[in-house]
Structure 1
Amino acid sequence: MKTTVDLQQLVSVIGDAVVVSDAEGSITLWNPAAERMFGFTEQEALGQSLDLIIPQRLQQRHWDGYRKTMETGQTRYGNDVLKVPAVHKDGRALSIAFTVALLRSAEGALTGIVAVIRDETSRFQEDRNLRKRLAELEARAGA
């Protein structure tokens, strides 16, 4: 028996943030997990630039890559998990990990990008603390 999947329901119940942006980088889909992760409601996010969640110091680099992807129809990040900083609505820094995929029309024209995003902030902080502690122990052992 074949089961059909309600994709709209899937996107709304999945635990990872799903964010879709159009060819110009405006947000066209923002699921409930994105709301929880970044603090912006769907109404606040839809139609906004991805700059909403990109730290200002990284925006130029992001847009250079985004435009290149839209021009060439290729991304070098197709199967890679990207780990980058992001920004919450309240201004605090987040560490996120995500994958991206290109979206195309039925005719094959590039229409946007989907990102599936996971908040790695606490894990990143734990790793940082462990590396710091290890460095302290190694320094003590070598002294």
Structure 2
Amino acid sequence: MHKHPALIADADGVIVFWNAAAERAFGHGAAAALGQTLDLIVPADFREAHWRGFRAAMQSGHAEVEGQATPFPAQQADGVIAERPGRLTLLRAPDGGAIGAMVVFD
């Protein structure tokens, strides 16, 4: 069983991986999460900044917080918003270009 909630989104911010721990942490089953954008868990007040940073990271292949323990505001299925510490890893093609992102939450 996965201990830490984890998700992977493609370069468009569409969720392509959602583990069982993410189901428990966020209240969305994998079937409901897969194919949705990260708006599923990014609270509305944070979306503009999130997408600006996400697009910049996908274009540049760089994210300032990559690999660092970072608090991410996240919204659960029941509407509760909480800061969840996690680590962002950009996923890269062999040429170094970003093709997605993974976050593993503590």
Range class of TM-score, shorter chain: over 0.9
Residue 65 in structure 1 maps to residue 53 in structure 2: yes
2-side partners of 1:27 and 1:104: how far apart?
A: 16
Identity rate, percent? 35
**Rg comparison, structure with higher value:** 1
Of the two structures, which has the highest relative contact order with CA contacts closer than 8 Å and spacing of 6 or more?
A: 2
- Could you list the structure 1 runs, at least 4 aligned residues long, displaced by more than 4 angstroms after superposition: none
Deviations 1:5-24 (A, max 9, x none): xxxxxxxx221111000000
1:110 aligns with 2:93: no
1:47-66 alignment to 2 at 5 Å?
A: 47-66=35-54
TM-score (norm 2): 0.93
Structure 1 residue 80: Cα displacement: 1.4
More strand by share: 2
SS of residue matched to 2:103: strand
Whole-angstrom distance in 2 between the partners of 1:105 and 1:69: 14
Structure 1 residue runs without a partner (length 5+): 1-12, 119-143
SS in 1 for 2:72: strand
RMSD, aligned α-carbons: 1.2
TM-score with structure 1 setting the length: 0.70
Q: Which amino acid aligns with 2:50?
A: H
